[in-house]
A and B are shown apart, each in its own frame.
Chain A
């Protein structure tokens, strides 16, 4: 390291990941909107042969949004926030800079391979863990590189205390490493079937109920450590920085951190309520899901209280509006999840459209809004230009808010209708409805859901356009803004 008066933060790696966040955001959500339309209008399944069917595209949608859009957003913000809260520039270490760049390029190659193999139909058939083993190997390498980046930059920091966002980034790293390794223990069928299997097709090392339990321990915690923990890392930095208000209670942020870490890992059993896993696993899943409200709301309320006395910023600054709405959706989905985990509610909710409804008010409302707000905040600092258009952010905000509300309300109604119809019996105990009766009833809600997807997607295109214009042709800034991001 050297002492240099003109030392600046180096955002090269953050910029690269910003690019993939936008790219995978568009790709993942275009596919999402298409498959929503396919559920309403099944003939759309046959546009491009086997490559356009719902079954082929659904894993692409989920994996691109989780491992493409969200992970890129996490890394873009990590390579930005990490330097700033530790007060050390990546330009000070050639080694960390090289690791950061290898991290990006290896990730990009891996992500492209993942998209191609899923499109070709290579799938391990475990939800959110569909990648076949060669992709898993690449992901493990990418993860190790990120670990070197995290602990490398912590090692050369000037700020001794780790800001709470760093705690959450470190937890993301450790959590996903553990979950991903254990759930993806798999063997190519070629080796277990005397040579008649396929080298590219693998089966899980666990079987039956054990496999289900490991899968949902992973599946639920993928939500925890990709869709929750790192997004909290973001909001704990970006909301205070954009508003100029220190976090309301740092102590509450620490308490919520340990609460979340302890409780989240036990809640996965709620995905298997009323299935063939031990009763205590189901009860434990339910109990821990309900307890989970406390640390989740601890963080969310801490964010809302950070705005205490500064609520005028909500009308003045569209980025604050995006972040406050995002943390409000966090509150909504973290009260909805525990309700669905209660056994009696789960009996109606399980396997119905209420579940994707829940996932989407979390991901569209909380995750994606927060990532987009974070990138907007970073843009003027990274590209030294003001944000291209405030009006476009406002338009995006309203389109997407309307989209999310239509999305989850239609699926709430659809899900509960579906659940009730499946259970309805006549006076003799015979089922009153066949499956196709439910499909008929649900059609209008699927159409509304598609419209909601189109609205949200339109917002994503506006976001991408606004970002690209900010990078290329917006007015240049002479000095870095302290708090509020400048916009035209």
Chain B
């Protein structure tokens, strides 16, 4: 097997790997939402309700401030 052939195999499997990773990530996003583990769309509200005294979408337990 010369370097050209090796490159071709590497190219082919790399492409497959990247396609799987891309669709895997999309699947992961939708599946975890469907299972109720995550609600990604609620994070969009962070930009809209952004006063310093607004209730956080997800409170940071490490934050020392009492609100």
Q: Is the CB of A259 within 8 A of B22?
A: yes
Q: Is the CB of B43 within 8 A of A161?
A: yes
Q: Is the CB of B52 within 8 A of A9?
A: yes
Q: Mark A1-30, 1 if CB is under 8 A from B, else 0.
A: 111000111000000000000000000000
Contact of A157 among B44, B48, B63 (CB under 8 A): B63
Given A159-B58, A280-B7, check contact A250 B44 (CB 8 Å).
yes
Say how far A407's CB is from chain B's closest CB, in angstroms: 32
Q: Is A131 an interface residue (CB 8 A)?
A: no
Task: Say which size band chain B's interface belongs to.
Answer: 20 to 34
Q: Is the CB of B45 within 8 A of A255?
A: no
Q: Is the CB of B50 within 8 A of A85?
A: yes
Contact of B66 among A3, A160, A164, A241 (CB under 8 A): A3
Interface size of A by CB at 8 A reads 38
Q: Is the CB of A88 within 8 A of B52?
A: yes
Neighbouring B residues of A236 by C-beta, 8 Å = 47
Q: Is the CB of A163 within 8 A of B22?
A: no
Q: Given contacts A236-B47, A251-B33, could you give 17 more A-B pairs where the C-beta distance is less than 8 Å?
A: A1-B63, A3-B65, A3-B66, A84-B52, A85-B47, A88-B52, A157-B63, A158-B60, A159-B58, A159-B60, A160-B58, A160-B61, A163-B43, A241-B47, A250-B41, A250-B43, A280-B7
Please measure, in the bound complex, the distance between the C-alpha atom of A254 and the C-alpha atom of B44, giving whole angstroms: 11
Q: Is the CB of B60 within 8 A of A160?
A: yes
Neighbouring B residues of A157 by C-beta, 8 Å = 60, 63
Q: How many A-B residue pairs have CB under 8 A?
A: 92
Q: Is the CB of A3 within 8 A of B57?
A: no
Contact of A158 among B41, B45, B47, B67 (CB under 8 A): B67
Q: Mark A225-249, 1 if CB is under 8 A from B, else 0.
A: 0000000000011001100101101
Neighbouring A residues of B40 by C-beta, 8 Å = 250-251, 254
Please measure, in the bound complex, the distance between the C-alpha atom of A159 and the C-alpha atom of B30, giving whole angstroms: 23
Interface residues of A (CB under 8 A from B): 1-3, 7-9, 83-85, 87-89, 92, 156-161, 163-165, 236-237, 240-241, 244, 246-247, 249-251, 254-255, 258-259, 280, 483
Q: Is B29 an interface residue (CB 8 A)?
A: yes
Please measure, in the bound complex, the distance between the C-alpha atom of A87 and the C-alpha atom of B60, giving whole angstroms: 10
Please measure, in the bound complex, the distance between the C-alpha atom of A268 and the C-alpha atom of B43, giving whole angstroms: 33
Please measure, in the bound complex, the distance between the C-alpha atom of A110 and the C-alpha atom of B43, giving whole angstroms: 37
Most chain A Cβ neighbours within 10 Å, of B41, B44, B56, B64 = B44
Say how far B33's CB is from chain A's closest CB, in angstroms: 8
Of the A-B pairs whose beta carbons lie under 8 Å apart in the complex, a sample of 14, sorted by A's number, is A1-B64, A1-B65, A84-B50, A158-B56, A158-B60, A158-B63, A158-B65, A160-B60, A161-B57, A240-B47, A241-B48, A246-B44, A250-B40, A251-B29
Neighbouring B residues of A251 by C-beta, 8 Å = 29-30, 33, 40-41
Q: Is the CB of B60 within 8 A of A244?
A: no
Q: Is B16 an interface residue (CB 8 A)?
A: no
Please measure, in the bound complex, the distance between the C-alpha atom of A244 and the C-alpha atom of B44, giving whole angstroms: 11
Neighbouring B residues of A83 by C-beta, 8 Å = 52
Q: Is the CB of B44 within 8 A of A8?
A: no
Q: Is the CB of A237 within 8 A of B57?
A: no
Say how far A163's CB is from chain B's closest CB, in angstroms: 4
Q: Is B6 an interface residue (CB 8 A)?
A: no
Q: Is the CB of B25 within 8 A of A87?
A: no
Neighbouring A residues of B66 by C-beta, 8 Å = 3
Please measure, in the bound complex, the distance between the C-alpha atom of A156 and the C-alpha atom of B57, giving whole angstroms: 16
Q: Is B46 an interface residue (CB 8 A)?
A: yes
Say how far A282's CB is from chain B's closest CB, in angstroms: 14
Say how far A14's CB is from chain B's closest CB, in angstroms: 14
Please measure, in the bound complex, the distance between the C-alpha atom of A250 and the C-alpha atom of B47, giving whole angstroms: 11
Q: Is the CB of B67 within 8 A of A3?
A: yes
